[in-house]
Amino acid sequence: MVSLPPSLQKQVSVMSMNLSAKLDELQRGDRQLETTVALCEIRTQLQELTKSVESCQSEVSEVKRDMVTIKQELDTVQQVKEEIEELREYVNRLEEHSHRRKLRLLEQGLTLFLSYAILAAVLGMLQFGYNTGVINAPEVNIENFMKDVYKDRYGEDISDDSVKTLYSVAVSIFAIGGMVGGFSGGTIANRFGRKGGLLLNNVLGIVGACLMGFTKLAESYEMLFFGRFIIGVNCGLNTSLVPMYISEIAPLNLRGGLGTVNQLAVTVGLLVSQVLGIEQILGTNEGWPVLLGLAICPAILQLLLLPVCPESPRYLLITKQWEEEARKALRRLRASNQVEEDIEEMRAEERAQQAESTISMTELICSPTLRAPLVIGVVMQLSQQLSGINAVFYYSTNLFTSSGLTDESAKFATIGIGAIMVCMTLVSIPLMDRTGRRTLHLYGLGGMFIFSIFITISFLIKEFFGYVQEMIDWMSYISVVSTLCFVVFFAVGPGSIPWMITAELFSQGPRPAAMSIAVLVNWMANFLVGIGFPSMKSSLENYTFLPFSAFLAIFWIFTYKKVPETKNKTFEEILALFRHGNDRSSLRDSRLYGSMLNCVNALEGHIPPAESAALMVAEEKPHPDSL
């Protein structure tokens, strides 16, 4: 029973009192009023009362309708609340499933066939290391060859400055070819696949090696230039394709250690070129063409070994949408039929990057989400090349002789640098997945900074106390030990991590474009250091390594502030780091972000679209475990 509003009750009471008063007057006859007039007044008041009652009934009807609407809304809210609770339970189950899947991924081991595939792939990086170091040992022999060819052609001697210029062209054109190859690596990887691109690249390796090997026979130093350019394109493609292929076939828990094998192959190639380049083996006027032509061996060996290896499962599933082929490749690589965890991880990555599946370099640079990892990848590449390590590689013999060593001892000390690089890279393989990429990179940059200062101090000691024989002997030990320690810390961190982390920071879609940009930057910095170091050395003299010290300090600060730890993180978890901002809280909560991203991706494939709005509301609420 709905009661009348107070105003209406008051109005009815007043009218009732008026009517009673009028009736009393008629009955008492106190006044001489006409009965008809009184009745008209009564009728008028009754009509007003009727209108008021009708208005009250209309208001009561509106109130009833409002109450029905409110009840319906309350029922809807209750229903949405129940759906949110159901979705929250479903998200929790998916998160638990994702966690169990990641644990199973972390339990995967190194199989025989995976080892074979890694070995076949890293022959490309061995090619890169070999051709980086092979040109330095026979410098005098190559310059004599250029003098002889010039005199036979033009009948006059060429100036020493011109010979130095020609030789610098032979050295630097390799880096120019590397820029071309590195920049085109992403296009080759998307068009022909990771394995397909490596196989085709060996054609360039064979052609370049043949051109260099037959240079003396053809009496053409132009052939040497062209061969060095072709082999540079080959090595540039290798530096883009090989890390990409290895990061995509490696299990989650071994990705860091296997990624370090890239740098191990580079250091082995450098060491082999240094050993073969000594005068007792191939560092002679007759042997240097063979030394350069031996670059054909890694290319032929990879052509023989790589066809047995499968294509990258990620490329097959995400780029080509060949799920069954991806399963076959995973079964061979994991030596097991239980590959669903890997397939689920790839599907999560595919859903997370579906909008960027065909991303170009321009889109990569303009993407707000991907700009941060791209900057990190580029700076990491610069930290490798601008650390001063190439100055040590190119001029270590000169550094050792200026420190007081004999020429022969300096050459063997240079070979010792290559051997130390190989040993320390082997040591860093188990540390990569145990200590972490970011931590090792910080240790490496910090150690290089300290010993670059010591190298500068040794130069200054030689200048101020060079007339004292005892000081010269002591200073030579400081210089040699500082240089060797400089190389040790390079091998621990900056030597291998930039190649690896660039591939880890990006998912399948933008990875080829990112690798192309990063490798291009690496080769450009390599070229600039190789060209600019002699001029810098003549200008700064004893303070030559101070600019590298400044760069090392800047890179250390950048790594500490901006670079995330990617150890044991899936590609979608790494992507989640940058979506939520690369601060300390996001680093601590990256596992939760990655798990929630997996859950959302899975929900997109399982729940109907009508429930997606409710899911968004659920995601805004705190996780139950955090309450």
CB 489 within 8 A of CB 448: yes
Q: How confident is the model at residue 117 (pLDDT cuts 50, 70, 90)?
A: very high
- The CA distances from residue 102 to 90, 505, 536, 593, 600, in Å, are 18, 18, 50, 14, 16
CB 382 within 8 A of CB 497: no
Q: Does the pLDDT of residue 145 top 90, yes or no?
A: yes
Distance of alpha carbon 622 from alpha carbon 627, whole angstroms: 7
> What is the rounded average pLDDT for all residues in the chain?
80
Q: What tokens were used for 560?
A: 């500490």
In this prediction, residue 621 carries a pLDDT of 38
Q: Does the pLDDT of residue 375 top 80, yes or no?
A: yes
Roughly what angle, to the nearest 10 degrees, separates helices 255-276 and 112-133?
40
Distance of alpha carbon 374 from alpha carbon 377, whole angstroms: 5
49-53, 106-110, 341-345, 478-482: least confident range: 106-110
Residues 224-242, mean pLDDT to the nearest whole number: 95
- The burial of 196, by beta-carbon neighbours within 10 Å (0-12 exposed, 13-18 middle, 19 or more buried), is given as middle
Distance of alpha carbon 627 from alpha carbon 623, whole angstroms: 7
H/E element holding 30?
none
Q: Does the pLDDT of residue 376 top 90, yes or no?
A: yes
In this prediction, residue 63 carries a pLDDT of 83
Query: Which residue reads 């190389």 in tokens?
Result: 487
2-11, 112-121, 453-462, 570-579: least confident range: 2-11
Evaluated on CA atoms 90, 96, 97, 99, the torsion sign reads positive
Predicted confidence (pLDDT) per residue in 410-451, tens digit: 777 778 888 888 888 888 888 877 888 899 999 999 999 999
Backbone angles phi, psi at 287, to 5 degrees: -95, -20
Predicted confidence (pLDDT) per residue in 382-396, tens digit: 999 899 887 777 667
What's the CA angle centered on 517, arms 516 and 519, to 5 degrees? 65
Q: What tokens were used for 290?
A: 């063979």
Residues 281-304, mean pLDDT to the nearest whole number: 94
In this prediction, residue 102 carries a pLDDT of 58
Q: pTM score, two decimals? A: 0.71
Distance of alpha carbon 576 from alpha carbon 571, whole angstroms: 9
Predicted confidence (pLDDT) per residue in 173-182, tens digit: 998 999 999 8
How many whole angstroms from its chain centre is CA 463? 44
CB 265 within 8 A of CB 129: yes
- The burial of 123, by beta-carbon neighbours within 10 Å (0-12 exposed, 13-18 middle, 19 or more buried), is given as buried
Q: Does the pLDDT of residue 308 top 60, yes or no?
A: yes
Distance of alpha carbon 98 from alpha carbon 90, whole angstroms: 12
Distance of alpha carbon 320 from alpha carbon 190, whole angstroms: 9
**What single DSSP character describes residue 279?**
T
Q: Does the pLDDT of residue 16 top 60, yes or no?
A: yes
Distance of alpha carbon 104 from alpha carbon 339, whole angstroms: 10
Q: Does the pLDDT of residue 207 top 90, yes or no?
A: yes
**First CA to last CA distance, the chain:** 46
In this prediction, residue 577 carries a pLDDT of 74
Q: What tokens were used for 98?
A: 């994702």
Of 32-36, 193-197, 360-364, which has the strongest mean pLDDT?
Answer: 193-197
Q: Does the pLDDT of residue 80 top 50, yes or no?
A: yes
Identify which of 127, 141, 172, 166 has the alpha carbon closest to the alpha carbon of residue 533: 172
Predicted confidence (pLDDT) per residue in 557-609, tens digit: 999 999 988 887 776 677 777 765 554 444 444 444 444 444 444 444 444 43
Q: How confident is the model at residue 8 (pLDDT cuts 50, 70, 90)?
A: low
**Long-range pairs, 408-414, Cβ under 8 A, ≥24:** 411/278, 413/480, 414/274
In this prediction, residue 600 carries a pLDDT of 45
In this prediction, residue 151 carries a pLDDT of 93
